[in-house]
Structure formats: C-alpha cells, structure tokens
Amino acid sequence: MIKFDECNLSNTFYIFENGDGTKYTIHVMQAEYGGLYVICNESSLWRFHSKGGNELKHLCGSNNQYTKKAILQLAELKGWVE
C-alpha cells in the first residue's frame, strides 16, 4: 500500500524558444525546503528563488550561461514565485 503525506500538483512543464535558436524543455516543481527546482532539457538541475530578486543556482548537470539566461527569462515572463 502506498501512503502519501502530501501531494502537490503544482508541477509545471514548458517548451519554449527564447530567440537564441535553442528549444528548451523546462520542468518546474516546488523544492521541499524553499524555492523551485528547475530541470532543463533533462540535462541540468537548478534551484530558483524569487525572494530578494530572482536568483538561479546550478545544482548539477550541464551548466552554461545561455541556459541560465533562458531560465531567468522564463521565470520573469511567467512571474514565478516560490
């Protein structure tokens, strides 16, 4: 038997292009201890915080400035709030 203490269905999925010629696939979900987890193209994991200004921290996988810029553009466009 499976027992859930909590189920949050606020996960979000985006497919977009920001004008640099790259197509991005983004999964966003609440992080347990604050912020939002952002998975980009199933190749990198980031944590986004909106408190005190938009902050994006690379956690693992591919890390490049263009991916970071694209995630921050999407966060601003969609008004992500943790």
Q: What is the predicted pLDDT for the residue at 82?
A: 75
Q: What is the predicted pLDDT for the residue at 24?
A: 92
Q: What is the predicted pLDDT for the residue at 75?
A: 92
Q: What is the predicted pLDDT for the residue at 1?
A: 59
- Sites in the chain below the pLDDT cut of 70: 1-11
Sheet holding 12-17, edge to edge: 12-17, 23-30, 36-40, 44-49, 55-61
Q: What is the predicted pLDDT for the residue at 44?
A: 97
| pTM for this model (two decimals) | 0.84
